[in-house]
Amino acid sequence: MTTYSLVRNAGPLWEAATRSAFLNALAAGSLAANSFRRWLAQDYLFAKDLMAFQAVLLTKTPRDCHKPLTGGLAALDNEMGWFESHAAGLQVDLDIPPHPTCRRYTDFLLRCVYTQPYPVLLAILFGVEASYLAAWSALPLSGPYAEFIERWSSADFATYVAALGGLAKRHTHEAAQEHFNEVLGHEQEFWKMSWED
């Protein structure tokens, strides 16, 4: 990820967004089931609003952005179904209100998608997906959550993130780093929410 200037220039914010006590416990196989269920429900609610963000972003971007963005929307739609099937098996209630931490994150995304130019939005989306990939890719493919780790550290996901990174490199804006950094702050808080509540 350090090949991307947005990541390099984020400094310690990157590490804080991609490492957490929640992930450490998950890697060790000691994460409490309740913590994982809480995270799964909130991540599902986050993904619902991320889909809205991506749909509006698509309408604002030039043609060279469309293929990875439409592919990302289709993958996110599949992800929603995957979340739903696993939630049923894990007895996770997805019909709940978002945690205030989740709501602050999605409010940020939805506010930005209507107020910021598309190059800033590309940096935001790259921040969301790149930090997620980095967090999950650092975990061993073992233990009770191996299926989840494998899904979110897959080669297909890495290819998508690389495509987003390419778009963010080509379409730059002076406010991109500020908003990328804000994403990382929200990511850090999301992991803390899943661990502490």
The tokens 């996901």 sit on which residue? Answer: 157
The tokens 């196989």 sit on which residue? Answer: 29
What is the predicted pLDDT for the residue at 53? 98
Q: Are 184 and 129 in contact (CB under 8 A)?
A: no
Q: What is the pTM of this model?
A: 0.96
Cα 132 to Cα 149: distance, rounded to the nearest angstrom: 11
What is the predicted pLDDT for the residue at 140? 92
Q: How far is CA 159 from CA 28, 72, 76, 134, in A?
A: 27, 11, 15, 13
Collapsing DSSP to helix, strand or coil, 175 comes out as coil
What is the predicted pLDDT for the residue at 145? 86
What is the predicted pLDDT for the residue at 90? 84
What is the predicted pLDDT for the residue at 77? 94
What is the predicted pLDDT for the residue at 197? 60
What is the predicted pLDDT for the residue at 8? 96
Q: Are 189 and 39 in contact (CB under 8 A)?
A: no
Q: 162: exposed, middle or buried (C-beta count within 10 Å: 0-12, 13-18, 19+)? A: middle
- CB contact set of 58 (below 8 Å; sequence gap of 6+): 65, 66, 69, 70, 73
For the chain, 197 residues long, give each residue's pLDDT as a single digit of tens.
Answer: 778 999 999 999 999 999 999 999 999 988 988 889 889 999 999 999 999 999 999 999 999 999 999 999 999 999 999 889 888 888 899 999 999 999 999 999 999 999 999 999 999 999 999 999 999 999 998 888 888 899 999 999 999 999 999 999 999 999 999 999 999 999 999 999 988 76
